[in-house]
Structure 1
Amino acid sequence: MGDQRRPLRPGELAPAFALPAANLEGMVSLDSLRGRPFLIGFYRGLHCPFCRRQVLQLAGVQPALHAAGVETVAVINTPLDNARLYFRHRPTPVTLLCDPECVTHRAFGVPRGEFLPDGSLEQPEWPYQASMAEFVASRINPTGELPEPLQPLEALAALNTKDGFELEEADKAIVANHGTQLVGHFLVDAAGVVGWVQIEAPDGPNSLSIFPNAAEIIAAAGSLGC
């Protein structure tokens, strides 16, 4: 399973993968899912409150997708033990897979950004290369929970405080190693062919953590004939 420089597009085959499940026994793989369509979302670690909220939203849309014959899968960039502990107290019908190294994120081509060094003459190429000034100047409030839009790191901290979520050492390691990982959603048909793609923040950091809502996901599944 190699790195994919750009996100997979509709009509392309999903790459093979096998990941441990946090709320099931054993591994879940592309082969085990083959034969029925599935929605797969690739998220940052549990340190990201927006990703935690999106997994909760997926739980709400899962019954409608299940009725349409679509499986719902979330890949979390966190160690298996951490995910099991967190979701033991927050059970969900979504199949939760753990990928602490973002191997499958990269195989599906979900972008991961890098910051250009200060004084670099290179032109930023969002989302793969960004200037620190552009990121610092951005403001987000995608869920409307904040009193005003905040710089992304401030928004993360504010919502983690609201949730009472404290980062453990494993979370801090994920932030250090994969802090610029973006989020992506893919609908894959029964034959393993990608039919719909949504990648976070296509227009720049001001659209970080804006994810598809339930209506958009159900509409996408319907457009595939699911």
Structure 2
Amino acid sequence: MTDQKRPLQPGEPAPAFALPAVKPEEGTVSLESLRGRPFLIGFYRGLHCPFCRRQVLQLAGMQPALRALGVETLAVINTPLEHARLYFRHRPTPVSLLCDVQCATHRAYGVQYLEFLPDGTGERHEWPYRASMAQFEAARINPTGELPEPMQPMEANGVLNAKDGFELQEPDAAIFASYGTQLVGHFLVDAAGIVRWVQIEAPDGPGGLCIFPNAAQLIAAAGSLA
């Protein structure tokens, strides 16, 4: 039986965290440093994930609207700090980017990671905690409409990385090998540190992988705090 915790639910307190920021001038960002300010926090895979990179870009475009609602925007990326700094030095963003190389904060908020069951096992599938490789391989996705047709998730990653001219470096490959099945989650936390809205990737199965909240959904969630 998996020992993963369920995702935090609305009404529960956000766990404390303290993570290094990609922008050196931001230092360390913590739950305590954000106290008194509502914030939207997204937990993402590493830079190897083209869909995560696209979501960070979407958050950057939304930041003025979110800030007008009094909501700060944070993105936690499963990438070594110096590697993230090198990447975003050439792709600056107004979003506060934080690094968690071991996904410890992802875990604290209950954002699941998928474990594949051994072939021939009699163990029960329990999405999104455990699945067979066949179940994963059967999925077909095209969440951004950029692919010529729906593709298997790993194949889709390769196509979009090639389109972006993104080549995995050694830190990307190491993160992918250790945390490649990490799911993505978004949480809206109010000024008192209480979770008010939650979205977790692919709640119903692998066909929902890489489908993240759109701008309208995030703005509506942020507006509900008022």
> Smaller-chain TM-score range?
over 0.9
**Residue 4 of structure 1: CA displacement?**
6.1
Q: 1:4, 1:107 within 8 Å by CA — same for their partners in 2?
A: no
Pairing of 1:77-88 with structure 2 (within 5 A): 77-88=78-89
**Residue 24 of structure 1: CA displacement?**
3.9
SS in 2 for 1:133: helix
Q: Which piece of structure 1 moves more, 76-85 or 19-28?
A: 19-28
**Residue 68 of structure 1: CA displacement?**
1.0
Distance, in Å, in 2 between the alignment partners of 1:18 and 1:193 is 17
Number of equivalent positions = 223
1:49/1:185 CA distance change after superposition, 3 Å: same
Per-residue Cα deviation, 1:191-224 (whole angstroms, up to 9, x for no partner): 0000000000001001100000111000001112
Pairing of 1:58-77 with structure 2 (within 5 A): 58-77=59-78
Runs of 4+ displaced beyond 2 Å: none
1:24/1:62 CA distance change after superposition, 3 Å: farther
Q: 1:62, 1:94 within 8 Å by CA — same for their partners in 2?
A: yes
Per-residue Cα deviation, 1:117-145 (whole angstroms, up to 9, x for no partner): 00011111000001110000110000000
Please provide the CA RMSD for this pair: 0.9
Q: 1:16, 1:31 within 8 Å by CA — same for their partners in 2?
A: yes
AA in 1 matched with 2:107:
R
Distance, in Å, in 1 between the alignment partners of 2:101 and 2:150 is 29
Distance, in Å, in 2 between the alignment partners of 1:105 and 1:92 is 22
Q: 1:40, 1:75 within 8 Å by CA — same for their partners in 2?
A: yes
Identity across matched positions, percent: 78
Pairing of 1:1-226 with structure 2 (within 5 A): 5-25=5-25, 26-225=27-226
Distance, in Å, in 2 between the alignment partners of 1:200 and 1:94 is 21
AA in 2 matched with 1:151:
Q
SS in 1 for 2:187: strand
Q: 1:11, 1:194 within 8 Å by CA — same for their partners in 2?
A: yes
Per-residue Cα deviation, 1:77-135 (whole angstroms, up to 9, x for no partner): 00001111111111111000000100000000000110000001111100000111000
Distance, in Å, in 2 between the alignment partners of 1:193 and 1:22 is 25
Distance, in Å, in 2 between the alignment partners of 1:83 and 1:109 is 24
1:211/1:20 CA distance change after superposition, 3 Å: same
SS in 2 for 1:210: coil
Distance, in Å, in 2 between the alignment partners of 1:14 and 1:4 is 17
TM norm structure 2: 0.97
Q: 1:4, 1:108 within 8 Å by CA — same for their partners in 2?
A: no
SS in 2 for 1:86: helix
Structure 1: segments with no counterpart, 5+ residues: none
SS in 2 for 1:197: strand
Distance, in Å, in 1 between the alignment partners of 2:24 and 2:93 is 11
